[in-house]
Amino acid sequence: MEAKILIRIFAAAIFTAFTLCDSVIFAAKPPPVKEIIYIPHDDRPISLKQTADVIERAGYKVITPPKNLLGNRNSLGNPEELWKWYEAFMKQAQKDKKIEIVASVLSSDSLLYGSLVGSRKHNYTERELLTRVKKFAEIRKKYPNSPLYVFSSIMRTPKSAAASGHMEPKYYDNYGEDIFRYTALLDKQESVGLNKRNEKELAFLRNLLPKSALSDWQGRRNKNFNANKALIDLAKNNTFNYLLLGRDDNAPYSATHAERRKLLKYSLSLSNDVERTAAGIDEAGMLLLTRAVLKDKQLSPYIYVRYNWGSGEFVVPAYSDEAIDYSINDEIEIAGATRTEDVKNADLILTVNTNPNGKTGDGALYSNDIKAREGTRYFVDTIEEYLAMKKPVAVADIAFANGADNALMETLKKRDLLFKLTGYAGWNTATNSTGFAIGYSLLAKNMDKANKDALLKARYLDDWLYQGNIRT
């Protein structure tokens, strides 16, 4: 208990020091030269402001909808009004010779359901959803030369009401764990089969769960699943420059994983240059915005990946259904970069902080203190070696979910490395952190120090100070 209190006191001191330093967070942004339309899947800072800030510091003006149209914890959003706003802006941009739209990066969750949370709670009919899906084809027809990047979630399967942040339908508060286990067994049954014990458990859960809850849960999943199939159909007809289907919080056996298998099969004819199904969703906007910028600049950077010692690339993080190395491979390609095994050829080095034992801790636990753990010094030594090579280095901090690794951050601070990095991310889930670190660091490496440090400061205040120490 005392250790955690000391961490919070230390974190407050860090906040004060950062605030009194050279105000890097207020560094002047370069004047915008081109515009990107961005509709995020909600109005959270990481989805909206922090993501847009990266692109603006890279030299682009980011056009976003009025905040009152976007969803959040208290409002599911307004898909019809979002479509009206987007169509009106595109129409005006076509008339205005001074506006150059580089691309549109759009959340289909916002444009179909109102928001990411809306995708989990909506009561729209399948007909309403498929009618909205068709609007993407109409946009492509009206503006055939305007790049269109779309990201959509594969509905999550939280392990419990607590794991969901209580952002699921009300019945999940009472039956969340049972619904998760029930769908995990269904997925396992389809994938590898069940043993006798599993079969008895499945039958028990089928009788235990209220039919009304299961009907609502599965009915919404089916509608969302069919909407994703319709988006894939549009991708087959070249409606999108890129379609990303992101698997929201899930597990190796889950309803989300089952839908992934089926959607992968349905999209087999599509190249990974056009469509991809990947782990995670909150990082999707950052990845596709980066892809749009790199395409516009005609850049094809190379990334070298280095893990902490131990389980490293084989870690299956909490909230994911696959080894982290598979996820990182996907994220690199989604962003428009290429992975290289030659560190000398790399334009960016991504260092990934994993626990040597392969487990993902929780950033809010008292075990997340400032005392160096097994692997901490080795990992920071590795970072120093790459910095000595004059290479841009980014850190994806995934030893803990929902916050930074305090031991890592303390060691980086002691060695005066915090602002020698090109990028850092250690928030929420592992793939949120790796994807965001990849996307923004590919752009930050070409920024001046003031803008680069401003982005680092934002992450340290959010991921380290707030998520890792203040939020519980």
Q: Tell me: the pLDDT tens digits for 86-111?
A: 999 999 998 887 788 999 999 999 99
| 143, 231: one domain | yes
* Segment 65-78, tens digit of pLDDT: 999 999 998 899 99
Decide: pTM greater than 0.85: yes
Last residue of a domain, one of 257, 282, 298: 298
| 422, 359: one domain | yes
Last residue of a domain, one of 298, 332, 361: 298
| 236, 345: one domain | no
Average pLDDT on 275-288 reads 97
pLDDT at 163: 86
Handedness of CA 383, 417, 317, 74 (dihedral sign): negative
Query: Residue 25: which CATH number?
Result: 3.40.50
| 11, 57: one domain | no
Q: Give CA–CA dist 314/408, Å, rounded.
A: 21
Which domain, by its residues, includes 2? 1-30+299-472
| 10, 40: one domain | no
Q: Is 398 within a domain? A: yes
* Segment 160-177, tens digit of pLDDT: 988 888 889 999 999 999
| 136, 64: one domain | yes
pLDDT at 95: 85
CB atoms within 10 A of CB 68: 10
| 321, 353: one domain | yes
Q: Give CA–CA dist 305/77, Å, rounded.
A: 38
Q: Is 22 within a domain? A: yes
Q: Is 194 within a domain? A: no
How confident is residue 360, by pLDDT bands cut at 50, 70 and 90? Answer: confident
- Give the number of C-alpha atoms closer than 13 A to the C-alpha of residue 463, restricted to the C-beta side: 32
Strands 393-397 and 348-353: parallel
Q: Is 180 within a domain? A: no
Measured in whole angstroms, the distance separating CA 400 from the mean position of its chain's CA atoms is 16
Residue 295, pLDDT above cutoff 70: yes
Q: Is 147 within a domain? A: yes
Q: Give CA–CA dist 403/433, Å, rounded.
A: 10
Residue 10, pLDDT above cutoff 70: no
Share of the chain above pLDDT 90, in %: 85
| 252, 267: one domain | yes
* Segment 333-353, tens digit of pLDDT: 999 999 999 999 999 999 999
Q: Bridge partners of 35?
A: 61, 101
| 272, 357: one domain | no
How confident is residue 410, by pLDDT bands cut at 50, 70 and 90? Answer: very high
pLDDT at 83: 99
In sequence order, the 6+-apart residues with CB closer than 8 A to the CB of 407 are: 368, 369, 370, 371, 372, 373, 376
Q: Is 172 within a domain? A: no
Average pLDDT on 294-307 reads 98
| 343, 423: one domain | yes
Q: Is 168 within a domain? A: no
Phi-psi region of 78 (alpha: psi -120 to 50; beta: other; left: phi over 0): beta
| Matching residue, tokens 């060691």 | 411
| 24, 83: one domain | no
Last residue of a domain, one of 248, 279, 298: 298
How confident is residue 268, by pLDDT bands cut at 50, 70 and 90? Answer: very high
Q: Give CA–CA dist 114/125, Å, rounded.
A: 14
Q: Is 209 within a domain? A: no
Residue 374, pLDDT above cutoff 80: yes
Q: How many domains does the chain have?
A: 2
| 21, 122: one domain | no
Q: Give CA–CA dist 65/70, Å, rounded.
A: 7
Average pLDDT on 384-403 reads 97
Q: Bridge partners of 61?
A: 35
